[in-house]
């Protein structure tokens, strides 16, 4: 009984320390997408959004730091509309792909994102931004090296409805 009380107290103190430091840890749930289990920690502050705004501006998309929310529609200077989403919330986009097309299409979308991060990510990269067009058949994956001070990396993906698969545009 006393050991359970000590364990509960220890877990509570750890949670309080993490909350005070600004770190959020998302619990891995078995029905969550693999990326949510693998990339489950993010420092929640305005710097993450500021880097997203920087990446959007690099794509000639103007938006406001305070008003930007996941699944907002943003428009580039060519008049093309995109659905904005932070990488850690990309499950929202995966759900939309699943609803419109199929479970296979959603899994493929997630797999391409995973491969991109596995192949390209380095320590110090900003949290990726994902943009997907309103037809849900073209997407862009954008992040910046060196904490927002380095090279901006943009990869494009397309969806093949016949095969229900996403692929990188070379």
Find the domain containing 117 and state its range.
Answer: 45-168
Is 1 a domain residue? no
Query: Who's near 112: CB < 8 A, 6+ residues apart?
Result: 157, 166, 167, 168
Instruction: Indicate the pLDDT class of residue 125, thresholds 50, 70 and 90.
Output: confident
Residue scoring higher pLDDT (30 or 125)? 125
Name the burial class of residue 68, with classes exposed (0-12), middle (13-18) and buried (19+) by CB atoms within 10 angstroms of its CB. middle
Is 128 a domain residue? yes
pLDDT at 92: 94
Task: State yes or no: pLDDT of 41 exceeds 50.
Answer: no
Is 38 a domain residue? no
Q: What is the pLDDT of residues 48-98, one digit of tens each?
A: 777 777 777 777 787 776 778 889 898 888 889 999 998 889 999 999 999
Is 66 a domain residue? yes
Pairing, β 81-86 against β 138-144: unpaired
Residue scoring higher pLDDT (15 or 106)? 106
3-state secondary structure of 163: coil
Is 25 a domain residue? no
Residue scoring higher pLDDT (64 or 115)? 115
3-state secondary structure of 36: helix
CA dist., res. 97 & res. 146, Å (int): 31
pLDDT averaged over every residue in the chain: 76
Task: State yes or no: pLDDT of 31 exceeds 50.
Answer: no
Is 145 a domain residue? yes
When divided into structural domains, the chain yields a total of 1
CA dist., res. 75 & res. 62, Å (int): 8
pLDDT at 45: 54
Pick left, alpha or beta for residue 77 (phi over 0 → left; psi -120 to 50 → alpha; otherwise beta).
alpha
Is 62 a domain residue? yes
Are 144 and 151 a contacting pair, CB within 8 Å? yes
Instruction: State mean pLDDT over 2-18.
Output: 44
Is 34 a domain residue? no
Instruction: Indicate the pLDDT class of residue 23, thresholds 50, 70 and 90.
Output: very low
Nearest to 74 by CA among 157, 10, 131, 12: 131
Q: What is the percent of the chain where pLDDT is above 70?
A: 70
pLDDT at 113: 93
């Amino acid at each position: 009984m006393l050991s359970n009380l000590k364990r509960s107290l220890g877990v509570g103190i750890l949670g309080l320390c993490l909350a005070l430091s600004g770190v959020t840890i998302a619990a891995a749930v078995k029905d969550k997408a693999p990326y949510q289990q693998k990339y489950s920690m993010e420092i929640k502050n305005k710097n993450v959004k500021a880097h997203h705004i920087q990446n959007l501006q690099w794509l000639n998309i103007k938006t406001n730091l305070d008003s930007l929310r996941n699944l907002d529609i943003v428009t580039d200077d060519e008049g093309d509309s995109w659905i904005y989403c932070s990488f850690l919330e990309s499950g929202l986009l995966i759900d939309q792909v699943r609803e419109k097309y199929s479970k296979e299409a959603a899994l493929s979308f997630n797999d391409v994102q995973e491969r991109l991060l596995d192949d390209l990510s380095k320590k110090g990269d900003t949290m990726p931004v994902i943009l997907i067009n309103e037809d849900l058949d073209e997407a862009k994956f954008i992040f910046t090296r060196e904490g927002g001070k380095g090279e901006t990396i943009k990869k494009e993906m397309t969806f093949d409805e016949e095969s229900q698969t996403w692929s990188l545009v070379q």
